[in-house]
Structure 1
Amino acid sequence: MPAPGPDAVGGKRPVATVPSLPGAAAARYAAALDWAAAQPRQVTRGAKDAQVYQAAAPSVVLVLAGDGFGSGALISADGKIVTNLHVVGDAKEVGVVFKPAAEGASFGKADVRRAKVLRRDEVADLALLQVSEVPAGAKPLPLAASGAVQVGSDVHAIGHPTGQAWTYTRGIVSQVRKDYGWRTEMGLDHKATVVQTQTPINPGNSGGPLLDDNLEIIGINSFKSDGEGLNFAVSADDVRTFLTLKEDRRANRSAGARAVSAGSECEAVALKEWAVSDPKGLGYLIDVNCDAEGDFVMIEPAKKSEPHTYLFDHDGDGKIDAEITDLGRDGNFDEALLDVDGDGTYDLVGQFKPGESDPYRYERIK
């Protein structure tokens, strides 16, 4: 498996723009790998999903703040609830509704409980609420242990997308991204470790829990990015840090974090460049999202007849585990190789249709 050069990590200043790097291909890499990561998993759906929903749904609340709404997760028996800051805004009190006992039952004003906003974190986009009483059947959801999230593992989300109360969705963890920056409609720049998932979320899911199979919170569903299946949850580690704060944490409004998204208007640049011997050519450490950190390695052979190759460390372990080839050097992916089990050998080969970022077919390599 090809590997980056010895200097292919870190870096703060671009050394060159890369005119030959197709911007569309660079921006599409995440979608292709997300799809690929899901393929080798074979999971029996149905009974387990129902169990997760039935056990966790009573602990997921509907948060009503002004004209808006979102979701929240009960984290303590005395009525503390975690949600997103952008759900509650500047409100000192919000309304909270616990799930009715009967599935699909309607609820009204009498079901709305007052919740005090105890604390805000503008950096991680989190807020802590307090209700005075918790209904029977609503048990606190524990936070997952630090480092418990595994790329490719199943995750579950419960929330209220576009007002469809207590909706359950399921997906996989695509990646865990540290020091990730984004911006909400409040105009604040946020930064946190986020869990990237394919789990479908929409407005109204914000503030709700992203759960593992053990019913532990691995993140708080917070935002989605441009592109297919790019959904993000603030990590349980950041939630745990937030809960230790004694006062509100304010964002740095002067510097802030640069918003990051696959579709951001940002010129791909090479942070580092080095000679490659096999094939003879150049290797580039590419920053595609303007955060001054390398996102992947591009190999550009000296011979124009040889393809561009993109190398990715998809699970963040410091080893190359995915390779995508652009045979025509035209910005269209042609073949993807994926190391599923991390043993240094590719397990899957995928083929792309012209202009598409997701492989239409993946086969195991025998």
Structure 2
Amino acid sequence: MRDITGVAMPPYRVWPAILLAVWVPVQRSAGIPDASFTRPSAVVASPGTLFRLLRLQDAPLAPPPRWRGGTEIFQMTAPSVVVVRTGTGHGTGFLIDASGLIVTNHHVVASGLMHDAERKASYAMVHFGRPGPDGTMHLLAEPVRAYLYKVDATRDLALLRVDAPVPGLTALPHLTLADAPPRPGQDCAIVGHPSSGMLWTMRPCQVAAIGEMPADLVNVVMLKLASSGKERDDMAEQIRRLPSRRIILTSAQANPGDSGGPVVDERGRVIAVTFGGPGREAESKFTYHVHLDELKAVLADVPREPMFYRPDPWNLGPRVELKDLDGDGRPDLLLAGADRPETLLFDLDSDSPQAFARPQNIAQLVAERKWDFEVGVTTAEGETAAFYDTDNDGAIDLILTGAVRDGTVDARFVVTPAGGWRYESGLKLPLLSGRYLKNPQLAARADRLIRLVAEK
């Protein structure tokens, strides 16, 4: 795989510049920080001042909510916050009800999950804590399985559930959602497990801004304001086609490992979920969080049964390039990644819409998943997966995954006759090969293109 993923690339033709370095996940502690964060100064009127101003009105008013202070908020929040650990790192999560339902980020569980063939579901290991007499949290000795129940990649949220007793706890503490949405200037706090801090690290902060991502980000707005005519219309259309979610910005100092942690208000109620920060170090002044409204939408429909999480070939990096490997004038390979290619998707029969192959249309090609590939491979966070549309019907029906040794893997997901997925492990299968394709011509072309990539 080193030969394939290390293929030299010309400068990427990328997603629109407005998306480059917009955000980085504040996810897993793997020894490489995603960005540095510095806390901005904030000028916020005190509750007392606001109350005196409001008293000038004729109608009687209730006093504003009292900020309860760090100690009280920590005691209310921290026992419900858990460590979510996968095979490739860790993130944060929190219990949202007494039944063991846990909220975290999609990107926290997007790689490294374990799979239970009997339950037909994927799971992470979750670590709980218990408050001690000195007010600090103490890690319990034994982790427990938390099965995956739902993922929402657009909102970057996932739901896990602990459905077995937790050793050391007689009941599961949990947080509740705020009744009202957050407002700019509101006092709040985050709790998480930052790689540069300690477990259950709390940081008081303020809500700095609220809006839609990416449309309301300043660099996006400034590009729109600086353009005119057709250029502005084209940019607006590109933004409209991209996935969007409502977010809040806070002045918290989040780190890798904090992703999936709660943002709580002055009463310890959840108003958002931490997920990332600006992509450029010089701009890392804020932390980004999934808005309460998005969280409520995900929680409105919780499946009854856990699910398998399969690798997603469309979980692409910010840079995308189309290549013509065999020189026939038609692109046959999509490469994507950040600093180097992490995804390779082979269109063996060149049936992807050629209109999308133009550089200005690549963003739309990706957003609408119009690249019709028959073989693909991804490598990220130490995991590798190969994807096959074995019968060339436009749907992936075989995924090879697991630890790569000598070009082979030890596990696979296979579509069943009923349309579900079956997980099998303990195998030894070639990762990349045309042998999995039913069409002999496509199989031969796959092997030829794979060799061309490896030679480069």
| TM-score range relative to shorter protein | 0.5 to 0.7
> Following the alignment from structure 1 to structure 2, what is the Cα–Cα distance between the partners of residues 153 and 66?
37
Q: CA deviation at 1:230?
A: 1.5
Q: Which has the higher strand share?
A: 1
Query: Does the 8 A contact of 2:131 with 2:138 survive in 1?
Result: no
Question: After the TM superposition, which residues 300-339 of structure 1 pair with which residues of structure 2 at under 5 Å, given as runs?
Answer: none
Query: Does the 8 A contact of 2:262 with 2:270 survive in 1?
Result: yes
Question: Does residue 203 of the first structure (1) align with residue 256 of the second (2)?
Answer: yes
Q: CA deviation at 1:254?
A: 7.8
> Following the alignment from structure 1 to structure 2, what is the Cα–Cα distance between the partners of residues 214 and 201?
21
- In structure 1, the partner of 2:125 is 95
Question: Does residue 72 of the first structure (1) align with residue 103 of the second (2)?
Answer: no
- In structure 2, the partner of 1:116 is 147
> Following the alignment from structure 1 to structure 2, what is the Cα–Cα distance between the partners of residues 178 and 80?
27
Q: CA deviation at 1:141?
A: 1.1
Query: Does the 8 A contact of 1:125 with 1:190 survive in 2?
Result: no
- In structure 2, the partner of 1:142 is 176
Match of 2:285 among 191, 211, 229: 229
Q: CA deviation at 1:49?
A: 1.2
> Following the alignment from structure 1 to structure 2, what is the Cα–Cα distance between the partners of residues 222 and 74?
17
Query: Does the 8 A contact of 2:100 with 2:172 survive in 1?
Result: no
Query: Would you identify which runs of 4 or more consecutive aligned residues in structure 1 move more than 6 Å?
Result: 43-47, 247-250, 252-259
- In structure 1, the partner of 2:381 is none
Q: What SS does structure 2 have at the residue aligned with 1:55? A: helix
Compared CA separation, residues 258 and 180, structure 1 to 2 (3 A): farther
Q: CA deviation at 1:256?
A: 9.7
Compared CA separation, residues 245 and 137, structure 1 to 2 (3 A): closer
Q: What SS does structure 1 have at the residue aligned with 2:178? A: coil
Query: Does the 8 A contact of 2:68 with 2:266 survive in 1?
Result: no
Q: CA deviation at 1:220?
A: 0.5
Query: Does the 8 A contact of 1:76 with 1:141 survive in 2?
Result: yes
> Following the alignment from structure 2 to structure 1, what is the Cα–Cα distance between the partners of residues 75 and 211?
30
Q: Which has the higher helix share?
A: 2
Compared CA separation, residues 254 and 69, structure 1 to 2 (3 A): closer
Question: Does residue 55 of the first structure (1) align with residue 111 of the second (2)?
Answer: no
Q: Deviations over 1:6-62 (max 9, x none)?
A: xxxxxxxxxxxxxxxxxxxxxxxxxxxx957x2133379996211000111000111
> Following the alignment from structure 1 to structure 2, what is the Cα–Cα distance between the partners of residues 56 and 153?
18
**TM-score, normalising length: structure 1:** 0.52
Amino acid in the other structure paired with 1:140: H
> Following the alignment from structure 1 to structure 2, what is the Cα–Cα distance between the partners of residues 77 and 136?
11
Q: CA deviation at 1:203?
A: 0.6
Query: Does the 8 A contact of 2:137 with 2:200 survive in 1?
Result: no
> Following the alignment from structure 2 to structure 1, what is the Cα–Cα distance between the partners of residues 203 and 107?
22
Segments of 5+ residues of structure 1 without an aligned counterpart are: 1-33, 183-188, 260-289, 291-366
Q: What SS does structure 2 have at the residue aligned with 1:161? A: coil
> Following the alignment from structure 1 to structure 2, what is the Cα–Cα distance between the partners of residues 106 and 58?
10
- In structure 1, the partner of 2:4 is none
> Following the alignment from structure 1 to structure 2, what is the Cα–Cα distance between the partners of residues 255 and 205?
21
Compared CA separation, residues 101 and 241, structure 1 to 2 (3 A): same
Question: Does residue 154 of the first structure (1) align with residue 157 of the second (2)?
Answer: no
Query: Does the 8 A contact of 2:91 with 2:258 survive in 1?
Result: yes
Q: What SS does structure 1 have at the residue aligned with 2:214? A: strand
Q: Give the aligned length.
A: 218
Q: CA deviation at 1:139?
A: 2.5
Compared CA separation, residues 253 and 191, structure 1 to 2 (3 A): farther
Amino acid in the other structure paired with 1:40: V
> Following the alignment from structure 2 to structure 1, what is the Cα–Cα distance between the partners of residues 206 and 171?
28
Query: Does the 8 A contact of 1:223 with 1:231 survive in 2?
Result: yes
> Following the alignment from structure 1 to structure 2, what is the Cα–Cα distance between the partners of residues 57 and 239?
19
> Following the alignment from structure 2 to structure 1, what is the Cα–Cα distance between the partners of residues 97 and 313?
32
Q: What SS does structure 2 have at the residue aligned with 1:52? A: helix
**TM-score, normalising length: structure 2:** 0.42
Query: Does the 8 A contact of 2:101 with 2:161 survive in 1?
Result: yes
Question: Does residue 175 of the first structure (1) align with residue 205 of the second (2)?
Answer: no
Compared CA separation, residues 255 and 100, structure 1 to 2 (3 A): closer
Query: Does the 8 A contact of 1:176 with 1:196 survive in 2?
Result: yes
Instruction: Please tell me whether Structure 1 or Structure 2 has the larger radius of gyration of its CA atoms.
Output: 2
Q: CA deviation at 1:200?
A: 1.2
Q: What SS does structure 2 have at the residue aligned with 1:240? A: helix
Q: CA deviation at 1:136?
A: 4.3
Match of 1:165 among 189, 199, 206: 199
Q: What SS does structure 2 have at the residue aligned with 1:171? A: strand
Q: What SS does structure 1 have at the residue aligned with 2:161? A: strand
Compared CA separation, residues 256 and 123, structure 1 to 2 (3 A): farther
Query: Does the 8 A contact of 1:190 with 1:256 survive in 2?
Result: no
Q: CA deviation at 1:93?
A: 0.6
- In structure 2, the partner of 1:42 is 46
Query: Does the 8 A contact of 2:79 with 2:137 survive in 1?
Result: no
Moved more, 68-77 or 41-50: 41-50
Q: Deviations over 1:107-165 (max 9, x none)?
A: 46x4211100111111111100000246346432112235x211001011000000620
Q: CA RMSD in A?
A: 3.6
Query: Does the 8 A contact of 2:82 with 2:128 survive in 1?
Result: yes
Compared CA separation, residues 178 and 160, structure 1 to 2 (3 A): same
